[in-house]
Structure 1
Amino acid sequence: MQRPIMGTEALAGAELTRGQLRWNYRAVHPDVYIAKNQKRTLYVNTYAAWLWTRRTGIIAGRAAAAMHGVYGMDASTPIEMIGPHIRHQRGVVMREERIGGDEVQSIGELRVTTAARTALDLGRHLPRDLAVQYLDQLARAADLTEAAVAPLIERYRGARGLPRARVALSLMDGGTRRQEETRMRLLMHDFGLPAPRTNIALTDGRDTTVIGMGWDDVKLGVSYFEPPRPGGCAAVQDLRHHELVARMGWTEMGFINSGHGRSVGYHVRNELHRRRRQNR
C-alpha cells in the first residue's frame, strides 16, 4: 500500500519533482500528501496525521484500538494523538496529556498507546456503550483484562473522565464475540440482570458449538444470529448448532437485529426470572 509522504522530504531527496508532486498528489495536511488515486482509509489517515506532527505524535484512542485489532471504524473516524498542542487540523484530535514510556509501543514505524492505555482512553473519552463495544473487541484481540488497566487508573487518579472509564472497564468482557452482543449484554445489565457468562462452549464429546452468552444455573443462553442464509452448508451448520444446544439441555434465545434489543431484553429477563423461581 502506498503511504502518505511529506512534500518537503520528497523534494529534498529528489524522489519527486515539484511538477510530479503537484499533478500526482493531493495535500491532506500541511506538507502531507497522498497519491491522487489513494483511497482514504483509517490507516492512511492515521499515518498522514502522524507525519503532520513531524513523527512526534503518539497514536491513541480509536485509531490505536484499530491498530490493536479492533474493527468497526472507518475513514471518518477522528485520529486521536497524544503530543504537544499544535494548531487545529481537520480530522485530528491532539491531546496534551501525561503518558509514561511503558504506555507506548511501536507498531511498524508508528508509536502507539499500549492496549492498556488505549483501553483507559477509550473509557475516558467515549460514551459508555460505544466505549464498551470497542473495549470488548480490544480485550479479545489483545488478551486484555481490567486488572491490566488498574495500575493506570491508579497512576492517573483525578484525570478527566476517570469515573466514566471505571464504569466502562468494569463492563469489559473479552468473551463477547460481536458488537451486537455487546449492546445486548449492556441492555441486560441496565435491566438489572446478573452478568452472563460469555462465549459458552457446549460439547457432547463429538460436536462442539458456542452460545454467545448465558446463565449456566438455568441453562439459558442468548446469541446474535446472522440474518438467515439460504440452503447449503450454512443452513446445515445452523441446524446442527440448534440440535446440539437442545441435546445439552439449553434454551437459546436469539436475535438478528440489536435495534429490537429492548424487546428481546424483556423476554430474556422474564424467562430468566421464571426459571430461577422454578429452581428455588
Structure 2
Amino acid sequence: MTGTRIYSQMMLLAASATPRPTDSAVPDVQEVVDQMNSNASAEDKTSFLLEYLMAQREPLLNFGKTLLIALIVFLIGKRIIALLLKLLNRWMERSHVEVSVHKFIMSLGRVLLYILLIFCVAGILGVGTSSIIAIIGSAGLAVGLALQGSLSNLAGGILILLMKPFLVGDYIVAGGVEGTVRNIDIFYTRIVTTDNKVIVIPNGTLSNGNIINTSQEEYRLLILDFMVGYDAQISKVREVVLNLMERDEGVCKDRPQSVNIDKLNPGRVRLQAKAWVTNKDYWDVRYRMLEAIKEELPKQGISLF
C-alpha cells in the first residue's frame, strides 16, 4: 500500500510538470490515483496504467529531449568556462597582476560564470529566472543571517585587496602576531612566523585592527636593546658598538647610527643601538649584531646584564 502511495505522488508530480492536451480522453491524474487505490484487479490496474503512460508518451519524449539539450548545454558550458578561466589566468600572469588579486579574480570569475550557466540551463528547462532569483534571494538572506562573521571576513578580504595595506611577501604585525604574508584569501589571511608556524587570521579582524607593515619601505630601522652596569663608561660602550656597526656589511653606511641611554634601571643601564638596514637583511643583521655585542663588550671589560 505504501508503494502505491509513493507511486501516486510521483504520478502527480510528473503530470504537473508535463503538459497534456486538454481535448483528449486521457484519464486525469486523480483518476489514475483513484484507480491505483481501488479494489480493482492487478490486471485492470496494469491496463489502466499502461493506457495513461501511452497517452503521456509524447510529453515525456519532449521533456526528455529538453533535458538532453540542457545536459549538453551544461557540459559545453563547463568547457567554455574552463577555457575562459584559462585565458583569464594567462592574461593576468602576462600582466603581472598581484598574486592576491589574481586569486580573488579567478575565484570570483568562476562563481559568476557558473551562476550564468545555471541560469541558461534553467531557462532551457522552462524554469522562470524570476523564480530562481527569488529562491537565491531568500537563501542569501537566510545564509547571511547565519554567517554574519563570514560575511564580515569577506568584506574585510575585499577591502584588503582594494586598499592593499599589505601584499603577499610583506612582513606585518597585526592582531598580536607577526610574520610574512603567505596568502590573502577571500575569508582569511595566512602568515608565516620566523619559526615557520602558519597563523590564519580572519580578514574581518585585520581590516578592523591596526596593521604594522615593515616591508613597504626599502629600509628598516634596527633597534637593539642591551644593558650594562653603572660602572661602564657610556662613551666607550658607544664607540665599541658603533665600530661593530661600521664593520657589518648589512648596515647602511649612508644613514646615521646611534647608541644612547634608553632607561636607568636599578643596578643597570639600558642602552639602545640604532642602525638602518634593508628589509631583506634585517633579521640577518640583527642576529649578527646581537652576537657581536655579546662577544665584544666583555672583551673590552664591559659587563652585560
TM-score by length of 2: 0.27
Q: Which has the larger radius of gyration?
A: 2
Richer in helix (by share) = 2
TM-score by length of 1: 0.29
